[in-house]
Homo-oligomer: A and B are copies of this chain.
């Protein structure tokens, strides 16, 4: 496991550091600022940028003068530089987007699908339509755990152990895949509400609840890359059996399925999202029963967050999906029950609970991030020159 050794590796390393700084920056910065940021000399910065410009990875544009001093250049993505494609594969739709250095994604195409793995061929064709020389890596977000990075398991589509290696063949560009909830969390950590946190958590609340632990801007993946099933811990004392095969899961009390069940429906089939939206509408309009349902959902959410905060000590927790509405309408309920679940000695410093700012674009943004993580690696950059 060699990390770095030769002087050439040192150069590559500094090039990657520079590219990563550009990618992660909120605002573009100048070459001189880059030198200060990386702690290198102006001469070295000039050499690095020159090589990256020649490799069509960075581009320099004149910066408007901002005070005294010789005018300098802004470091921006190269117009002919590599791009990452990102795919968000949902229950019955898919979206393809393109993202350059810096992360800004533009949607290219989207479509519906028939809930069979044939959608992968459809996506492959869309990628071929839009992908040119500049396409470097494809990041794909799907729901459901992906064991060891290739065995996909989406229960609500009836996909059981779908073999991704068979569906994503040699005619695909270099492709990296991950779970949508985890990628939504990664997006928040890199470009959203969790930016800058050392330890944080993100939860996506849809039919049920899934999430990820974010450490230093990266998502914890686990030994088989199926970490994040926080919704399948018994955090709320439910006596019910969950579809996952366990009894008492947190997800039984949080999310659209819990709302469906409360109003007498059978979870797991179809119209849960519409019902959830309707409950939200009615609760906002003052309907007592809908309000009570929301209270229960928010209370169960908060109770679980408190328990998880005891164990993992996050600085902040962001929510997406239904969670955004729950925060908007029932923040006090969530926070009160979170505090109740927190050990007494930590109640004066509870985790910040916040709505994600990347929103519904989370999985797509996260997929672009993991694709760019491949590009911004020493191996890839060295290959490119």
Contacts and interface: CB of A to CB of B under 8 A. Distances in A.
B223 A344 contact: no
A170 interface: no
A311 B230 contact: yes
Interface in A210-255: 213, 215, 220-230, 232-237, 244-248
A361 interface: no
Interface in A335-355: 340-347, 349, 351
A7 B13 CA distance: 12
Contacts of A3: 13, 17
Given A233-B233, A341-B246, A313 B346 contact: no
A310 interface: yes
A118 interface: no
Contact of A313 (B224, B340, B342, B345): B224
A368 interface: no
Contact of A235 (B2, B233, B244, B347): B233
Interface string A12-50: 011001000000000000000000001110000000000
Contacts of A200: 223
Interface in A172-208: 197-200
A272 interface: no
Interface SS of chain A: helix, strand, loop or mixed? loop
Contacts of A226: 313, 346
Nearest to A151: B345
B307 A232 contact: yes
Contacts of A228: 311, 313
A312 interface: yes
Given A199-B227, A342-B246, A343-B229, A38 B312 contact: no
Most buried by B among A17, A229, A314: A229
Contacts of A248: 237
Interface in A69-118: none
Contacts of A145: 345
A10 interface: yes
A10 to B, nearest CB: 5
Contact of A312 (B2, B220, B245, B247): B220
A343 B246 contact: yes
12 contacts: A2-B39, A199-B223, A226-B346, A227-B311, A228-B311, A233-B235, A233-B308, A233-B310, A235-B235, A245-B344, A246-B340, A246-B344
Please list the 10 inter-chain residue pairs (A to B) with the smallest Cβ-Cβ separation, ordered nearest first.
Answer: A222-B313, A245-B344, A223-B315, A227-B313, A2-B39, A233-B307, A244-B343, A229-B310, A199-B223, A232-B310
Given A145-B345, A199-B221, A226-B346, 17 more contacts: A3-B13, A3-B17, A4-B4, A5-B39, A153-B345, A199-B222, A223-B314, A229-B310, A229-B343, A233-B235, A233-B308, A234-B235, A234-B307, A244-B344, A244-B345, A246-B344, A247-B340
